[in-house]
A and B are shown apart, each in its own frame.
Chain A
């Protein structure tokens, strides 16, 4: 499952993966920008606005009916955050036309509708249709306030905002309530035009007979000189551990521990770090699962993950409040065990195999085949599945211990049962 790349014009890249393996054709477009407080909330509003209507399909109903006419074609959009970039994702999926009655014409129609829906929003031409704009501001406001409904996501968002308060990474990918209140229709519209015309844009397509799709995109995407250059994530030195506690009327305590890894995607030890994280908390055989859950019965869910562009390792556990000190203690023991080199050959081997299997298995999932490239796109170095598998298999015990010795605990965050205290959700 390899992509062939071509540059359609400055800053516009087309990545094609030709295969007849799937029943669907999948296409994703990514438009990148730096995470900035001034723009983040406006960008976050775009997926909500764009689904409301376009010149040809002026309402949600028209878009939904087009999707149904095209046999469940999906037109979607979302916001991603990778490192200190905010990325607008546009998404299209449709059943391979050769499986559909009278399918030949449907693919071109689907792709044209996709591009049309997302680039020609309904409105007077210099702003979004005003009722849509105000309704979607309300929707985003509800979404930001509604973060509290999912305690784990809420805890992670609060943790990130606190740990990275003075860094762009601390900005939530869907923005904040205060900026939202002051958001202006024309400003967001101009911001979107600027994104479409000046920012780096990558199109990924997975499916069969892609020539037609490639030609179509080449003719549709404006070659407007995308001169915007983007920033690299801010590097931060850990200056002592910080602990934050907040309360909410919840049944379970969510414990989050954040480490700076001092090692990112372009570093030599990056795959050693991924293996180290896997030994710690990436799998059911990992130390955290075996010790916090299986031995001590403190949690149902416990694990760790890596943010490879910014350089963070984050541990999350859902525990009963009275066992929080014990949980922190056991987690510290596991991290120190790895730093002290206590990794068995089985743990190392199982983890490498697990990572390789997950990486290889991505090739069976069209959206996954595309998504795994996002970090490479942000970091300016795309790597194939084979390259990654090779890099993981080369990781040795020493590399893994060295990479994990580089991680430093920065912030511990606890969301505990009780009356609501601490900062408000979605704010600051």
Chain B
């Protein structure tokens, strides 16, 4: 059992079980809810893979998310009702790189945890129930298709990337969902749900040693563990697929999103450092305390929705920034000026130090969110990021480093601009 001190003065206990599962327990005194999250290091971008020298297989887009839906099915019932017996809630989500199952409860947390382990480890897939799920998933895709913020993000990734599966929607398409089979689903399950590829976090007023023991006693040993998983990403050209795309949607105003593709070269603590450095840079570009925010707002080139973020994983990395706007072209012009100035002029160390305070406070406050804390423990682990080094790394970042990172990574040759315009623009005015 290893201990990690948190900046709030608490301790996270971790252990890797003999079957390969990594466990984290974060005791929080006085809290009434207990929260459990079981995740696999497997997401929507894992579309081509092989196991220890075996054949390489391709599976339909959206399959990780499809599998997430199906694991809730049990013989003769649904997992939801069993959690409901304890008044607990259960949910799941799939990202590009991770699938997570979680419960939250104020009673019977041990039962809830045992059931979490049990249902994720006992798939019940039949031709019939897989067929039935397709209708539900397609309605989910339709729902997201009606969200302009979702649509513009999808368009950005589709056009930044030519080959990498991060360009595809996490849920896939109606077509890829339709052609998904039980055999495909089971192949993914058997590969990615082995304990060595998974992690479990429990947050709440629990005893760490007993909780770890309980997990160990209940977690199945996989007899046919297949060994190391090999994941294959298609070679991604340096250039973006398209430098500019436009689409019409039934929205009230135009939307603008600018993205930069980066080389995914960071691992472990380097990745954490890059996340902090680039996120500070994103604040300099789009934060409310930035010199240009007020001017752009007054000119109606941005709204509250103006934001910029950096997203990085060992397999892909990009930055994105944008807003609803009166005039996408004018915003593009203004934003280009801001970015070019930050890339060449000296970044103020006063600004960076003030933003570091902001990050410091936000990091401390985040410990009150169990879901956020559990997810951070697990996703950091999957990416090899040390859990206890955030504040230390933050303190050591300098203004020069932020400036150098912006100058290097915001490469116009590797950028894509997406504009969404209202359908029948003239009628809206």
A-side residues, CB < 8 A to B, are: 19, 21-24, 59-61, 63-65, 67-73, 93-95, 99-100, 131, 135, 138-139, 142, 145-151, 248-252, 283-285, 289-290, 293-294, 297-301, 318-320, 346, 349-358, 360-361, 363-366, 420, 425
Which residues 134-151 of B sit at the A interface, judged by CB distance below 8 A?
Answer: 134-140, 142-143, 145-148
List of B residues within 8 angstroms of A142 by Cβ: 252-253, 303, 324
A127 to chain B, nearest CB (A): 18
Decide: A148 and B139 in contact? CB cutoff 8 A. Answer: no
Decide: B252 and A145 in contact? CB cutoff 8 A. Answer: yes
9-residue interface stretch from B258-266, B285-293, B311-319:
B285-293
Decide: A318 and B298 in contact? CB cutoff 8 A. Answer: no
List of B residues within 8 angstroms of A289 by Cβ: 80
Decide: B294 and A300 in contact? CB cutoff 8 A. Answer: no
A164 to chain B, nearest CB (A): 24
Decide: A73 and B361 in contact? CB cutoff 8 A. Answer: yes
Decide: B324 and A68 in contact? CB cutoff 8 A. Answer: no
Most chain A CB neighbours (cut-off 10 Å) among B30, B90, B143, B324 = B143
Which residues 381-416 of B sit at the A interface, judged by CB distance below 8 A?
Answer: none
List of A residues within 8 angstroms of B365 by Cβ: 23-24, 72, 93, 95
9-residue interface stretch from B219-227, B239-247, B351-359:
B351-359
B145 to chain A, nearest CB (A): 5
List of A residues within 8 angstroms of B337 by Cβ: none
Is B33 interfacial (CB-CB < 8 Å)? yes
Q: 9 A–B contact pairs at CB < 8 A?
A: A19-B30, A23-B364, A93-B365, A139-B303, A297-B135, A299-B136, A350-B87, A357-B107, A360-B32
**Given known contacts A138-B300, A294-B78, is B368 in contact with A249 (CB within 8 Å)?**
no
User: A145–B250 Cα gap in the complex (Å)?
Assistant: 12
Decide: A71 and B142 in contact? CB cutoff 8 A. Answer: no
Name the one of B135, B140, B297, B367 contacting A298, with C-beta atoms under 8 angstroms.
B135
Which residues 63-117 of B sit at the A interface, judged by CB distance below 8 A?
Answer: 78, 80-81, 84-90, 104-107
The 5 closest A-B pairs by CB, nearest first: A71-B361, A353-B87, A72-B361, A357-B87, A297-B135
Q: Select from chain A the residue with minimum beta-carbon distance to B135.
A: A297
Is B52 interfacial (CB-CB < 8 Å)? no
List of A residues within 8 angstroms of B87 by Cβ: 350, 352-358
User: A358–B104 Cα gap in the complex (Å)?
Assistant: 9
User: A349–B82 Cα gap in the complex (Å)?
Assistant: 12
Which residues 270-329 of B sit at the A interface, judged by CB distance below 8 A?
Answer: 287-291, 293-294, 297-298, 300, 303-304, 324
Decide: B289 and A65 in contact? CB cutoff 8 A. Answer: yes
Decide: A99 and B7 in contact? CB cutoff 8 A. Answer: yes
Q: Select from chain A the residue with minimum beta-carbon distance to B139.
A: A300
Decide: B84 and A350 in contact? CB cutoff 8 A. Answer: yes
List of A residues within 8 angstroms of B425 by Cβ: none
Decide: A150 and B143 in contact? CB cutoff 8 A. Answer: no
Is B251 interfacial (CB-CB < 8 Å)? yes
**Given known contacts A248-B250, A297-B135, A318-B139, is B89 in contact with A72 (CB within 8 Å)?**
no
A320 to chain B, nearest CB (A): 6
**Given known contacts A21-B31, A95-B364, is B107 in contact with A354 (CB within 8 Å)?**
no
Is B426 interfacial (CB-CB < 8 Å)? no
Q: Select from chain B the residue with minimum beta-carbon distance to A138.
A: B300
Known: A61-B290, A357-B89, A363-B32. 10 other contacts (CB 8 A): A63-B288, A72-B365, A145-B428, A249-B423, A284-B90, A297-B136, A298-B135, A350-B84, A350-B87, A364-B370
List of A residues within 8 angstroms of B300 by Cβ: 135, 138
Decide: B367 and A60 in contact? CB cutoff 8 A. Answer: no
Q: Select from chain A the residue with minimum beta-carbon distance to B360.
A: A71
**Given known contacts A250-B146, A300-B137, is B85 in contact with A353 (CB within 8 Å)?**
yes
Decide: B139 and A131 in contact? CB cutoff 8 A. Answer: no
Name the one of A71, A251, A298, A364 contacting B358, with C-beta atoms under 8 angstroms.
A71
User: A75–B137 Cα gap in the complex (Å)?
Assistant: 39
List of A residues within 8 angstroms of B80 by Cβ: 283-285, 289
Decide: A60 and B7 in contact? CB cutoff 8 A. Answer: no
Name the one of B32, B145, B288, B368 contacting A64, with C-beta atoms under 8 angstroms.
B288
List of A residues within 8 angstroms of B29 by Cβ: 21
A141 to chain B, nearest CB (A): 10
Decide: B368 and A23 in contact? CB cutoff 8 A. Answer: yes
B238 to chain A, nearest CB (A): 35
Decide: A251 and B146 in contact? CB cutoff 8 A. Answer: yes
User: A148–B249 Cα gap in the complex (Å)?
Assistant: 11
Decide: A146 and B252 in contact? CB cutoff 8 A. Answer: yes
**Given known contacts A99-B8, A350-B81, is B146 in contact with A135 (CB within 8 Å)?**
no
List of A residues within 8 angstroms of B428 by Cβ: 145
Decide: A151 and B33 in contact? CB cutoff 8 A. Answer: no
Is B132 interfacial (CB-CB < 8 Å)? yes
Is B118 interfacial (CB-CB < 8 Å)? no
List of A residues within 8 angstroms of B287 by Cβ: 64
Decide: A299 and B297 in contact? CB cutoff 8 A. Answer: no
User: A420–B428 Cα gap in the complex (Å)?
Assistant: 12
Is B345 interfacial (CB-CB < 8 Å)? no
B293 to chain A, nearest CB (A): 7
Is B133 interfacial (CB-CB < 8 Å)? yes
User: A357–B358 Cα gap in the complex (Å)?
Assistant: 34
List of A residues within 8 angstroms of B32 by Cβ: 360-361, 363-364
User: A298–B132 Cα gap in the complex (Å)?
Assistant: 10
Name the one of B105, B137, B355 contacting A357, with C-beta atoms under 8 angstroms.
B105
Q: Select from chain A the residue with minimum beta-carbon distance to B251.
A: A149
Decide: B294 and A59 in contact? CB cutoff 8 A. Answer: yes
Decide: A364 and B33 in contact? CB cutoff 8 A. Answer: yes
Decide: A252 and B252 in contact? CB cutoff 8 A. Answer: no
Task: Encode contact with A along B361-377: 1 for CB under 8 Å, 0 otherwise.
Answer: 11011011010000000
List of B residues within 8 angstroms of A284 by Cβ: 78, 80, 84, 89-90
A27 to chain B, nearest CB (A): 14
Q: Select from chain B the residue with minimum beta-carbon distance to A354.
A: B87
List of B residues within 8 angstroms of A73 by Cβ: 361
List of A residues within 8 angstroms of B250 by Cβ: 148, 248-250, 420
Decide: B293 and A61 in contact? CB cutoff 8 A. Answer: yes
User: A38–B348 Cα gap in the complex (Å)?
Assistant: 48
Decide: B147 and A366 in contact? CB cutoff 8 A. Answer: no
Q: Select from chain B the residue with minimum beta-carbon distance to A295.
A: B132
List of B residues within 8 angstroms of A138 by Cβ: 300
List of B residues within 8 angstroms of A355 by Cβ: 87
User: A22–B368 Cα gap in the complex (Å)?
Assistant: 6
Decide: A252 and B358 in contact? CB cutoff 8 A. Answer: no
Task: Encode contact with A along B1-19: 1 for CB under 8 Å, 0 otherwise.
Answer: 0000001110000000000
User: A104–B85 Cα gap in the complex (Å)?
Assistant: 46
Q: Select from chain A the residue with minimum beta-carbon distance to B292.
A: A61
List of A residues within 8 angstroms of B30 by Cβ: 19, 21
B291 to chain A, nearest CB (A): 8
List of A residues within 8 angstroms of B355 by Cβ: 68
User: A142–B294 Cα gap in the complex (Å)?
Assistant: 18
List of A residues within 8 angstroms of B86 by Cβ: 353, 357
B86 to chain A, nearest CB (A): 7
User: A65–B362 Cα gap in the complex (Å)?
Assistant: 14
A364 to chain B, nearest CB (A): 5
List of B residues within 8 angstroms of A68 by Cβ: 289, 354-355, 357-358
List of B residues within 8 angstroms of A148 by Cβ: 250-252
List of A residues within 8 angstroms of B297 by Cβ: 60, 135
**Given known contacts A297-B136, A353-B85, is B298 in contact with A131 (CB within 8 Å)?**
yes
Q: Select from chain B the residue with minimum beta-carbon distance to A132.
A: B298
List of B residues within 8 angstroms of A353 by Cβ: 84-87, 107
